[in-house]
């Protein structure tokens, strides 16, 4: 069994503010330890379920030298391999060779979710909303659609209550979710301590992998339209003249249309943020 583990940092127990997720911030190192140990818990659960190949993809951009590189190598479980410093949503090697399932650990809700701890959609600087075929989505839908393009289901979501709710609405009630904190606002939460959260994630990963068909691969209906809401008018220039894109200057929206999601995504997603 091949398992693709996608990771983000904002949904980890003990992480509630930007101070623990950005390179150079005083509490970033603590955030990295908390992050790495939750990933290890998912690795343990996958191993217990029979995984033979586990690839962990660091999907958190901490900025500077730590773009997609916040996992602490010496603490990582020796049974996995991990991808670091690779642009977001661009690692597809394991998916291409037939990953059996994706586990998503440490995620946050989409932008403008009142109880979503550190909620945002990709970057609140350049765009602040995203739609697939007119349905408002967040980052978890991007990752799920990438997996779905290769026929791989997402079977586990961990993070706060808000992202677990968003994930079930997107992927179905059969999805296994583990909520390690409950947002009281964007920057506060009632939390489960990391030691117990890790046990819950390990068990969640193990249980999720008992039925590989519990959740269908997520595939937005074809043809696909991806729409992004741009935050500032000058940023529309980033999209002008690019194939497959249509700009709406009145609403500051960019539409990308294609027969399949991956092509539409590749047309619109050029930023290194
Ligand atoms: Zn992140």
CA of 136 to the centre of ligand 1 (A): 19
Domain around 7: 2-120+139-208
Q: Extract the runs of DSSP E, i.e. beta strands, from 90-185.
A: 101-107, 127-132, 135-137, 154-160, 176-185
**Would 223 be classed as within a structural domain?**
no
Q: What DSSP character marks residue 192?
A: -
Q: How far is the CA of 87 from the centre of ligand 1 (A)?
A: 13
The CA 19 to ligand 1 mean position distance, Å, reads: 12
- 8 Å CB contact between 164 and 177: yes
Render 115-142 in DSSP notation, one character per residue. T-TT--SS-TTTEEEEEETTEEE-HHHH
Instruction: Tell me if 225 is assigned to some domain.
Output: no
Q: Specify if 104 maps to a domain.
A: yes
* Ligand 1 centroid to residue 8 C-alpha, Å: 5
Stated pTM of the model: 0.96
Retrieve residue 4's tokens: 């693709």
Partner residues linked to 103 by β-bridges: 5, 156
Measured in angstroms, how far is the CA atom of residue 250 from the centroid of ligand 1? 31
Q: 9 CA distance to ligand 1 centroid (A)?
A: 5
Q: Residues 231, 123: contact at Cβ < 8 Å?
A: no
Q: 23 in a domain, yes or no?
A: yes
Q: How far is the CA of 205 from the centre of ligand 1 (A)?
A: 20
Per-residue pLDDT of the chain (273 residues; tens, 9 = 90+): 999 999 999 999 999 999 999 999 999 999 999 999 999 999 999 999 999 999 999 999 999 999 999 999 999 999 999 999 999 999 999 999 999 999 999 999 999 999 999 999 987 667 789 999 999 999 999 999 999 999 999 999 999 999 999 999 999 999 999 999 999 999 999 999 999 999 999 999 999 999 999 999 999 999 999 999 988 888 888 888 999 999 998 999 999 999 999 999 999 987 654
Residue 59 Cα to ligand 1 midpoint, Å, equals 7
Q: How many residues does the chain have?
A: 273
Dist. CA 124–CA 111, nearest whole Å: 8
- List, in sequence order, every residue forming a beta bridge with 5; answer none if it has no partner: 56, 103
* CATH number (domain holding residue 164): 3.40.50.10780
CA 96 / ligand 1 centre spacing (Å):
24
Question: Is residue 128 included in any domain, yes or no?
Answer: no
Q: Is residue 72 part of a domain?
A: yes
The sign of the torsion formed by the CA atoms of 83, 89, 92, 95 equals positive
Q: 269 in a domain, yes or no?
A: no
Ligand 1 centre to CA of 261 (Å) is 22
Cα 194–Cα 90–Cα 40 angle in degrees, nearest 5 = 20
Q: How many domains does the chain have?
A: 1
Other CB atoms within 10 Å distance of the CB of residue 107: 26
**67 Cα–ligand 1 center, Å:** 10
Calculate the alpha carbon distances from 54 to 43, 169, 172, 177, 198 in Å. Answer: 7, 27, 24, 20, 18
Whether 261 is covered by a domain: the verdict is no
């Amino acid at each position: 069994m091949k398992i693709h583990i996608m990771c983000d940092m904002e949904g980890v127990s003990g992480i509630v503010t930007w101070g623990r997720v950005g390179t150079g911030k005083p509490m970033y190192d603590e955030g990295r330890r908390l992050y790495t140990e939750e990933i290890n818990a998912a690795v343990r659960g996958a191993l217990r379920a029979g995984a033979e190949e586990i690839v962990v993809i660091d999907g958190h951009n901490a900025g500077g030298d730590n773009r997609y590189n916040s996992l602490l190598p010496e603490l990582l479980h020796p049974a996995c391999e991990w991808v670091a410093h690779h642009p977001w949503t661009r690692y597809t090697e394991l998916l291409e060779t037939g990953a059996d399932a994706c586990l998503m650990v440490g995620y946050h809700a989409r932008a403008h979710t009142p109880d979503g701890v550190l909620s945002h959609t990709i970057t609140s600087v350049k765009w602040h909303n995203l739609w697939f075929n007119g349905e408002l989505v967040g980052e978890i839908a991007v990752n799920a659609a990438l997996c779905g393009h290769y026929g791989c289901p997402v079977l586990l979501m961990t993070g706060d209550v808000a992202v677990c709710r968003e994930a079930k609405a997107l992927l179905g009630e059969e999805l296994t979710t583990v909520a390690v904190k409950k947002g009281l606002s964007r920057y506060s939460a009632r939390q489960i301590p990391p030691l117990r959260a890790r046990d819950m994630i390990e068990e969640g990963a193990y249980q999720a992998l008992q039925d590989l068909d519990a959740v269908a691969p997520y595939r937005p209906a074809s043809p696909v339209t991806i729409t992004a809401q741009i935050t500032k008018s000058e940023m529309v220039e980033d999209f002008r003249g690019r194939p497959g894109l249509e700009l709406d200057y009145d609403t500051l929206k960019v539409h990308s249309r294609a027969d399949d999601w991956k092509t539409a995504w590749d047309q619109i997603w050029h930023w290194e943020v």
